Amino acid sequence: MTQKTAVRRLGRPRDADSAETRTRLLAAARRCFGESGFERTTNAQIADVAGLTPAAIYHYFPSKIDLYAAVFDEVQEYIYAEIEKGIGPHHTLVDRFSAALDVSVRIHRDDPSIAGFVVDVNYEVQHHPELLSFVEPGRRRSANLVRRLCQDAVAKGEVHEGVSRAALEDLLSVLLSGLLRFSTSVDDSPRQAAAVEVLKAMLRSTDVFATPADPPGPAHGGAAQGLAARSTSLRDW
């Protein structure tokens, strides 16, 4: 006769298991928040995915808001650590931004729940203002990264005169966020990677950028001025 073995869910963990359990809990919460949203996600749902009892969650996080904030912080730390490693060996804006795009493709390929969670953050903040104070520093971090890349490029003469640095920052931010949303909507890593390769080729062929040794010519300046005039800031969206 076959004896059935009951699966025991973990309650409050021993200290030796605490870090591993917390990591598993955050991964489960990230997946649940990304799939069901903040409001519809329950402790029971997260506990089921993590293999814990619902009561055990409170050993780590006193509320769902605290758990959401911890997931957000963990995701931000991971993403930007990976991006910094990716762009580190490169020196031009196009190469550094291309490396950041490659990192985003790899992250989504390895764990689609990360992109699913990040894409949903703006919606959750709009519908749950109590989350804003927890996520706003991380949202500024994204803007600061793009700003730093553009500032470095302008300082090194990589961007033609007449191109608005603020408009360039907006454009690169839109490209990053748009590709992130695309990755979650199609859920097809090879397709996302192919789109990124086309974008990288377009960035290398555009006349917005120049090598630092080349001063902008009249044709470049005119095209750049036209681009700047047509650019619309997205900061107020």
Question: Which domains, from first to last, does the chain contain?
Answer: 10-62 (1.10.10.60), 69-230 (1.10.357.10)
Residue 217's pLDDT is: 45
Mean pLDDT to the nearest integer, 147-171: 94
For 170-188, write each residue's pLDDT tens digit: 999 999 999 999 999 998 9
- pLDDT at 13 exceeding the cut of 90: no
More confident residue, 53 or 12: 53
- pLDDT at 23 exceeding the cut of 60: yes
Q: Which of 144, 150, 142 is nearest to 169 (CA)?
A: 150
pLDDT class of 143 with cuts at 50, 70, 90? confident
Rounded-to-integer distance, Cα 140 and Cα 158, Å: 25
Measuring CA to CA, how many Å separate 20 from each of 111, 128, 141, 201? Answer: 18, 30, 27, 42
More confident residue, 13 or 57: 57
Determine if the pTM surpasses 0.85.
Answer: no
- Here the tokens at position 177 are 């966020």
Mean pLDDT to the nearest integer, 10-38: 82
